[in-house]
Amino acid sequence: MMTQKATYEQLEQQVEDLTRQVAALEQNEVSLKESAKRYRTLLDFAPYPVATFTLKGGISYLNPSFTKVFGWTLEDIKEGRARFVPPELGPETSEKLKELFEQRTLTRYVTRRMTKDGRLLDVIARGAVFSESEMGVPGELVIFRDITREKRIARNNEALLRISTALPEYPDLEELLDYITSEIKRLLSTQGALVILLDEERKEFFFPGVADDDKATKKRVKEIRLPVDSLASAEVVKTGKPLIVNDAYKDSARYVERDHEFGYSFDNYVLVPIQSHDRIIGVLAAFNKSQGLFEDSDMELLGMIAGTVGLSIENARFSDELKQSHKELQSLDRAKTKAINHLSHELRTPVSVFSGTLQILEKKLQTLPDDSWKRSMDRAQRNVERIKDLQEKVRDIILGEESETRQRLSFLVDECADLLEDIIETQTGRTELLDKVRTRIRDMFETKNAEPREIFLDEFIRHGLEKMGPEFAHRNLQIEQFLETPPPVMIPAEPLEKVFSGLIKNAVENTPDQGKIQVTVFNREPGPGFSVRDYGVGILGDDQARIFKGFFTTQGTAAYSSKKPFDFNAGGRGADLLRMKIFSEKYHFSIHASSKRCGFIPGRDDICPGNIDDCSFCREKSDCYQSGGSVFTVEFQLKR
């Protein structure tokens, strides 16, 4: 009986021990899961690509940064679609994984990996073996860092330095160009490279610089001369813009003579212009890349080399002062021509529109009901408003300009007013309408006395934005306000209102929909002020020096005359900023501007689509915000 009892107690103890062991194992499993979850969360937020491998070499995890850099997802790996490791690096990679498993760590491994879209990236890999207690299952963790850009920049800098240093060693132009094309061929890993120069008199291209492994081909190519239209280089010379063609199959029908003369086909190529001073003298070309396709980085390197080539080809050199003076003279001449054209257009076009509208009105009033001619009357009124707006700006400018300019502008406005009166009287015979027009014009010319008063900028600008808001309510823009409360300034309200409203209008018309504008009131030495910043298209560098000069616009007349105020790219007549500058001198405040042209539309003929969602370069709004914009700042100096 005692023996049975002892046996029963032993069994009971064993069951209790097993229960505790099971509980401990369950607790350990929970701890492992929690630990693995913490590590997984950490890896998910890591800024560098991270991959984990099983002890058998399979990939078990890819973090979001890995997918962002390389494009591959874990699903791609599982379905066997991934080609992350280039085939030629397969054996080497296997050895490195084996080394990692044996030594537990891999400190620095410089290699290359392939993206989902077929690009090869230079990377640095670091790895470590982790235990089951850390990640739930044992395995290997590898962190990658993309150094493609770093290596490209270093390689480009090295190449440019080497080419620049070698220039004095090649006094003969042909030898120099052969050296440069051989460097391009080596740097871009291509079948060949060319320097294509333009014979402007004969309208032909010739090839004094050739890189090709076959010497006979080099000699033959140097003897080729082809009509300009027989090469894609003609487009580069004409536009001044580089060109990448990665599928040249379509060219075979267009450029038959080219392929016949060269003796081989061009599967892909990159072309950049060679510029000397203010003209393009040729093209630098690389063709048939050994691996992959041509990218923007290839075009960038070729463009930098082309600048060096252009300097070497040009025989005549001008001093920096002479070149700058010549450029300024051309700019001033363009500004003068545009000023005359714009002023002439703005004082003539509204009169013509008004005349045509009155003729329609005269015919329709006799037979048609009001709703049939009301639209015509509205159109006439709208154009009268344009005349009024221009006259107001001209009046303000005249008050601050020298007498000769005043007389010219006043004469033009007087002529415009007389013409209006004559048209109304002779074509309509309506004296009451004539009296209204005379009163309107008299109001335009009336000079108001502007008495300075105490103005708090934050309240003034807050009220101004509320007042102007409905005028651009049709635009999808974000207006951010950062309004401090500085000491008041003494200035007449009317000119300050014109300055602020003009800057807001300028910002709205230069900012695409979905964009934003920031209005700031600040208080700093030597006094308070405000700024209007737009994240829009920006102003070209050449134009920035002339924006306060008067009647200088960055767009053609048709661009703004066909649009309504506050529309994107509606533009202006160039009078607003001149008037602001005159106000600043008269009322003793400063106004200045800084601007950065949008990098996606760097040229004068490049056009912004007017909505961030429609821009092919911007994936999100921040891309547009960072690409360009302008800041106009008004500062007052308080009297001590």
pLDDT score at 286: 93
Residue-level pLDDT at 446: 45
CB 353 within 8 A of CB 380: yes
The model carries a pTM of: 0.39
**At 634, is the secondary structure helix, strand, or coil?**
strand
Alpha-carbon distance of 147 to 126, in angstroms, equals 13
Listed in sequence order, the residues at least 6 apart from 128 whose beta carbon sits closer than 8 Å to its beta carbon are 100, 104, 105, 106, 140, 141
CB atoms within 10 A of CB 62: 22
- The one-letter amino acid code at 623 reads D
Angstrom CA distances, 231 to 182, 203, 284, 299, stand at 22, 12, 13, 18
Q: How far apart are CA 480 and CA 476, in angstroms?
A: 13
Q: Are 50 and 66 in contact (CB under 8 A)?
A: yes
How would you classify residue 495: left for phi > 0, otherwise alpha for psi between -120 and 50, otherwise beta? alpha
Residue 321: what pLDDT?
42
Containing H/E element for 286?
strand 279-289
Q: What is the pLDDT of residue 345?
A: 52
* Rounded Cα gap, residues 498 and 502, in angstroms: 6
Q: What is the 8-class DSSP label of residue 487? A: P
Segment-wise mean pLDDT, segments of 10 residues, the chain, 640 residues: 59 58 52 59 79 77 88 80 81 83 83 86 86 63 87 81 75 79 89 90 89 87 89 90 84 72 84 85 90 86 83 49 55 59 55 58 64 63 61 53 45 54 57 57 50 91 93 93 93 91 92 94 91 92 73 52 76 70 85 91 87 91 91 85
SS3 526: coil
Interatomic CA distance for residues 5 and 9, integer angstroms:
6
pLDDT at 456: 94
Nearest one of 32, 30, 25 to 134, comparing CA atoms: 32
pLDDT at 322: 42
CB-neighbour burial class of residue 188 (10 A; exposed 0-12, middle 13-18, buried 19+)? buried
CB 424 within 8 A of CB 358: yes
pLDDT score of 84: 84
* Longest alpha-carbon distance in the chain: 139
Residue 465: enclosing H or E segment and its boundaries? helix 457-468
- Phi, then psi, of 253 in degrees rounded to 5: -80, -30
DSSP label at residue 318? -
Number of H helices, E strands in the chain: 22, 18
| Rounded Cα distance, 614 and 500, in Å | 30
- The two three-digit tokens of residue 505, written as one number: 């209008």
DSSP for 167-206 reads: GGG--SHHHHHHHHHHHHHHHHTEEEEEEEEEETTTTEEE
